[in-house]
Amino acid sequence: MRTIIEPFRIKSVEPIYFNTKEERQYILETADYNPFLIHSTDVIIDLLTDSGTSAMSSNQWAGIMQGDESYAGSPSFFRFQETIQQITGMPLVIPTHQGRASEKILFSILGGKGKYIVSNTLFDTTRANIEFSGAEGVDLLCKEGKHPSIPAPFKGNMDVEALKNFVAEKGAENIPLCMITVTNNSGGGQPVSMQNIKDVKEICVANGIPLFIDACRFAENSYFIKTREKGYENVSVREIAKELFSYADGCTMSAKKDAFANIGGFLAMYNEDLALQCRNLLVITEGFPTYGGLAGRDLEAIAIGLNEVLDENYLQYRIRSIEYLANKLIEAGVPIMQPAGGHAVYLDAKEFLSHIPVEQYPGQALVGALYLEGGIRSVEIGSLMFGKYDNDGNLIPAALELVRLAIPRRVYTQSHIDYVAEIIIEVFKNKTAIKGLKIIEEAQMLRHFTAKLKPIQ
Q: C-alpha 170: how far from its chain's center? A: 28
**Residue range 192-218, pLDDT digits in tens:** 999 999 999 999 999 999 999 999 999
**Residue range 149-169, pLDDT digits in tens:** 999 999 999 999 999 999 999
Residue 304, amino acid: I
What's the mean per-residue pLDDT of the chain?
A: 96
**Residue range 279-303, pLDDT digits in tens:** 999 999 999 999 999 999 999 999 9
Which one, of 265, 183, 246, 185, lies nearest residue 217 by Cα?
A: 183
**Residue range 410-421, pLDDT digits in tens:** 999 999 999 999
pLDDT at residue 2, as a whole number: 82
Q: C-alpha 2: how far from its chain's center? A: 30
Whether 251 has a pLDDT exceeding 90, the answer reads yes
64-95 per-residue burial string, b: 16 or more CB within 10 A, e: under 16: beebbeeeeebebbebbbebbeebbebebbbb
SS3 letters across the chain: CCCCCCCCCCCCCCCCCCCCHHHHHHHHHHCCCCHHHCCHHHCCEECCCCCCCCCCCHHHHHHHHHCCCCCCCCHHHHHHHHHHHHHHCCCEEEEECCHHHHHHHHHHHHCCCCCEEEECCCCHHHHHHHHHCCCEEEECECHHHHCCCCCCCCCCCECHHHHHHHHHHHCHHHCCEEEEECCECCCCCECCCHHHHHHHHHHHHHHCCCEEEECCCHHHHHHHHHHHCCCCCCCCHHHHHHHHHHCCCEEEEECCCCCCCCCCEEEEECCHHHHHHHHHHHHHHCCCCCCCCCCHHHHHHHHHHHHHCCCHHHHHHHHHHHHHHHHHHHHCCCCECCCCCCCEEEEEHHHHCCCCCHHHCHHHHHHHHHHHHHCEECEEECHHHHCEECCCCCEECCCCCEEEEECCCCCCCHHHHHHHHHHHHHHHHCHHHCCCEEEEECCCCCHHHCCEEEECC
pLDDT at residue 297, as a whole number: 97
> What's the predicted TM-score (pTM) here?
0.95
Let me know: does 435 contact 456? Beta carbons within 8 Å. Answer: yes
Whether 242 has a pLDDT exceeding 90, the answer reads yes
96 Rama class: left (phi>0) / alpha (psi -120 to 50) / beta = beta
Q: What is the Cα gyration radius of the chain?
A: 21
Q: Which residues pair with 376 in a beta bridge?
A: 45
Q: Which residues pair with 140 in a beta bridge?
A: none
Q: pLDDT above 90 covers what percent of the chain?
A: 96
Whether 442 has a pLDDT exceeding 90, the answer reads yes
Which one, of 376, 348, 367, lies nearest residue 448 by Cα?
A: 367
Torsion of CA 246, 251, 256, 257, to 10 degrees: -50
**Largest Cα–Cα distance of the chain, in whole Å?**
60
Q: pLDDT above 70 covers what percent of the chain?
A: 100
Whether 1 has a pLDDT exceeding 80, the answer reads no
pLDDT at residue 116, as a whole number: 98
Whether 445 has a pLDDT exceeding 90, the answer reads no
Q: What is the mean pLDDT of residues 433-455?
A: 95
Q: Which residues pair with 379 in a beta bridge?
A: 404
pLDDT at residue 457, as a whole number: 86
Question: Residue 4 — pLDDT band, cuts 50, 70, 90?
Answer: confident
Whether 17 has a pLDDT exceeding 90, the answer reads yes
Question: Residue 62 — pLDDT band, cuts 50, 70, 90?
Answer: very high
Q: Residues, the chain, total?
A: 457
Pairing of strands 344-348, 402-406: antiparallel
**Residue range 21-49, pLDDT digits in tens:** 999 999 999 999 999 999 999 999 999 99
**Residue range 80-137, pLDDT digits in tens:** 999 999 999 999 999 999 999 999 999 999 999 999 999 999 998 999 999 999 999 9
